[in-house]
Each structure stands twice: as C-alpha cells, then as structure tokens.
Amino acid sequence: MEKKKIGLVPKLIIAIVLGVLIGQLNFIPEFLLRIPITYSKIFSSILSFIIPLMIIGFVIVGIADLTEGAGKLLGITTAIAYGSTLLAGIIAYFVASTIFPSFISSDLVEKLTETGAELTPLFSIPLDPLLDVTGAIVFAFMFGISISWLKGQGKGETMYNLFSEFGIIITKILNTLIIPGLPLYIFGNFLNLSFSGSVFPVLSIFWKVFLIIIILHILYIVGQFVIAGVIGKKNPVTLIKNQIPAYITAIGTQSSAATIPVNLESAKKNKVSKQIRDFTIPLCATIHLSGSIITVTSIVTAVLLMNGMPHGFGLMAGFVAMLGVAMVAAPGAPGGAIMSALPFVTLVGIDPTGTMGQLLITLYLTQDSFGTAANISGDNAIAVIVDSYYKKFILKGKKEPEEVVATDQLQVEM
C-alpha cells in the first residue's frame, strides 16, 4: 500500500499552529526553543544569498526566450508593477487618514512596549549575497535583452545554454533545499513571535488598524484579479482559487522569494505561458510590492496620527512615490520592505532610530506575512495581464513555444 504524503499546504498550517502553541509552553527550556530559531536564522541567510541568483537564473532566460518584443514586455511589466504599487499606497493613505482618527489614541504606544524579548539563535552564519537585488535585476535585464538580440542574429546559443542550465541548477536547489525547508522555517518564525508575546498584545491593541489593512489587502487582490480576468478573458474566481496555495505559503514564510516556486505553479494553473511566468513572477517578486506599501503607508499614517504630526496628502504622496522605488531594493526575506523604507520615513518627520521608528518596525513585522501574501498574489494578476498582451500583440496568433516537461521543473505538492 502506497504511503500517502502530506502536501505542502497542510505542512505549513501544522507548522504555524505548532509554533504558536509551543511558544506558549513555559516549561520547555529556552535552550531547546532556540534550536529552531537558529535553523530559521540560517535558512534566512541562505534565502538572502540565493535571491539574486534566482533572479539571474529565471529572469535572464525568461527575457531571452522572448525573442520578439522583449524590451516592450519589460517596460510594460515594470510600468504595471510600479503603477499598481503607487495606487495601492494612495488608496491606503486615504482609507487610513479617513478611518484611523476615529479610534487611534496616544496611549497605545505605551502598551505596545510591554512585550518581552524574542529568542535569539544559538549562532548565526554571516552569508552575504554575491549581488544585491538591484544589481541582480540590472544584470538580468542587460543580459536577457542582449541574449534575446543575439538570438535574433542567429547567435548567443552558448550564453543562452549557460544561463538556462544555471536556471535548472537554481530550480534543483529550490526543490531539494528551499521548499522542503519551508515548514520548519515557518515553525521557527511563529515560535519566536509566540514566545515573545509580541503578536497578541499588538493585535489586541491595534486590531482595528490591522483589520483594515488586511481588508485592504484582500480587496486590492480581488480588484487585481478582476481586472486581470477581464483583460485576459479568464474567470476571476478561478484565478483567485488557484492563488490560495501561494497565498498561504507567503503568510507562513513572510518572503516573496521563498514563495516564488509555489507562485510559479499558480501561474501555470492560470495557463500563463511558461515564457511569461518565468519572466514576470521572479521579476514582480522584487518590484511589485502593493501589499507591503499598503501596510507601510497605513502604519506610518497611524503613527503620525498617534503623535499629532502632520499627515497631509502632499506630504504623504511624495513619501509613497519614493517608497515604491525604495522597496525594490528590499531583500526578499521577512521585514525587508520596512527596513528599506526606514531611511525614507524622515520625509514625513519620523526618526527611524527613535521610538516611532521602532514602533513602525514592530507594527510591520507583526503582519508582514499578510502584506507579502498580497504582493505575490498581485504578481500573478500582472502575469495574466502581460501574458494577454504577449499573445495578442507580440505573438499575433503565432503558436507559442512548446513547454517542455522535464524532471528539473518545480515540483510543489499542494
């Protein structure tokens, strides 16, 4: 009798539940609790190291495969991603500035500081990426377009094969190291949050703020898939249903990069061309941050309100526009967006190193997973839109390149 395997999604749910429960058990020695925290820290370092390599491995070949209209697709994808991020931030500001004043009071800051310290890893491994994310994106753009041009001249086969096989190696690493390690990584994250008690006090104090943020995330996701469904002539309900596994994965990992393999499978179910999904999903994981900007804009507005500081649209519009660019350089690991945004909160009068800056970090990290889930969900909506443009205006009725089914493809059990 064949033994039935537990799928990825059930494993993620089990990891979350166990992390929260075990973090509440006071009789377990702290030394033992720090073991999974150490694993999570090392896993996070490996993840940060591999993020630029994932961009190079997937995006270069994805662009090179677009032998026609590669430059146009890059421009369109980037414009849609940035436009979506800006729109999300502006909507979040108007909602926050309209609703938050009705329930925010200054005594919330004092209550928030009552949480305990987090568990620290037994040790850590310093592992710096070979390239930063921005450098990897620029490298991928330049080489992808250049190889695409060479292919149009009947050349570039050697370089194309090099990066194609490099992509296969990255996929193998994802299948054998990253995906199997996700549940334990998630377990460590939730164990730490539960042990420190940071999640429950924050949610009990700021539950209205968080509820509004999460509702905004969901409404924005639905809106994106409705638009994508109309443009791509696909059922938005089906698109949303196919997104659920990746959404749950993002909630657990708090990382767009770690969710890329699962998100690629969701794009495949949406019948997005392989060339387009291999190009847009890794790219948008770093440049499309609609969920993160909704969160950052909302909590910045909340903190400004709590401290009686100016929060007019003119002030916040410049901050949102700059934030949309700044967060592109955010690492695909938990908390990357808020850490990249901190240097720019001075634009609205917040000291990133002071109490308000620490409050922003705490508020963001508490619900980072939901913002990440909104980010990667929007990536698939963009993939459907770009795929529709690709088929209609670039292929123009031509037959799509056949998708090769090989052992090196991503294998994600749902």
* Digit-coded pLDDT (tens) for 82-99: 899 999 999 999 999 999
Cα 261 to Cα 29, 228, 267, 377: the distances in Å are 36, 21, 10, 13
Residue 212 or residue 406, greater confidence: 212
Residue 348 is predicted with a pLDDT of 80
Query: Model confidence at 414, in pLDDT bands (50, 70, 90)?
Result: very low
Tokens 């990069």 belong to residue: 257
Write the pLDDT tens digit of every residue in 163-172: 889 988 887 8
Query: 392: which 2 tokens?
Result: 């209609």
Number of other CB atoms surrounding residue 282 within 10 Å: 29
Residue 382 or residue 185, greater confidence: 382
- Greatest mean pLDDT among 37-41, 177-181, 221-225, 268-272 lies in 221-225
84 touches 378 (CB < 8 A): yes
Residue 9 is predicted with a pLDDT of 58
CATH superfamily placement of domain 8-119+128-395: Sodium:dicarboxylate symporter (1.10.3860.10)
Is residue 113 exposed (0-12), middle (13-18) or buried (19+ Cβ within 10 Å)?
exposed
- Greatest mean pLDDT among 40-49, 165-174, 177-186, 368-377 lies in 368-377
**Positive or negative CA dihedral for 34, 336, 320, 215?**
negative
Query: 67: which 2 tokens?
Result: 């032998």
Query: 87: which 2 tokens?
Result: 């729109």
Tokens 């164990």 belong to residue: 191
- On average, the pLDDT of the chain sits at 79
Length of the chain: 414
310 touches 109 (CB < 8 A): no
Query: Model confidence at 136, in pLDDT bands (50, 70, 90)?
Result: confident
Q: Which of 54, 47, 379, 377 is nearest to 188 (CA)?
A: 47
Residue 114 is predicted with a pLDDT of 58
Q: Which of 185, 188, 201 is nearest to 22 (CA)?
A: 188
Q: How far apart are CA 27 and CA 136, in angstroms?
A: 46
CA 161: distance to chain centroid? Answer: 29
Q: How far apart are CA 284 and CA 12, in angstroms?
A: 24
86, 91, 96, 98 alpha-carbon torsion, rounded to 10°: 140
Q: How far apart are CA 199 and CA 118, in angstroms?
A: 11
Query: 210: which 2 tokens?
Result: 């968080």
Query: Model confidence at 412, in pLDDT bands (50, 70, 90)?
Result: very low
150 touches 60 (CB < 8 A): no
pLDDT over 60 (residue 410): no
pLDDT over 60 (residue 145): yes
**Positive or negative CA dihedral for 55, 56, 57, 61?**
positive
Residue 10 is predicted with a pLDDT of 75
Q: How far apart are CA 377 and CA 365, in angstroms?
A: 19
Check residue 231 and give left, alpha or beta (phi > 0: left; psi -120 to 50: alpha).
alpha
Write the pLDDT tens digit of every residue in 295-322: 999 988 888 887 777 778 888 888 888 7
Q: How far apart are CA 275 and CA 63, in angstroms?
A: 8
Write the pLDDT tens digit of every residue in 50-64: 878 877 887 787 777
- Greatest mean pLDDT among 42-46, 52-56, 329-333, 386-390 lies in 386-390
- Specify the pTM: 0.67
51 touches 133 (CB < 8 A): yes
What one-character DSSP code corresponds to residue 397?
T
Q: How far apart are CA 279 and CA 378, in angstroms?
A: 15
Write the pLDDT tens digit of every residue in 356-408: 665 676 677 667 788 889 999 999 999 999 999 888 887 766 666 555 444 34
Residue 132 is predicted with a pLDDT of 73
276 touches 390 (CB < 8 A): yes
Residue 398 is predicted with a pLDDT of 63
Q: How far apart are CA 414 and CA 332, in angstroms?
A: 23
Residue 195 is predicted with a pLDDT of 81
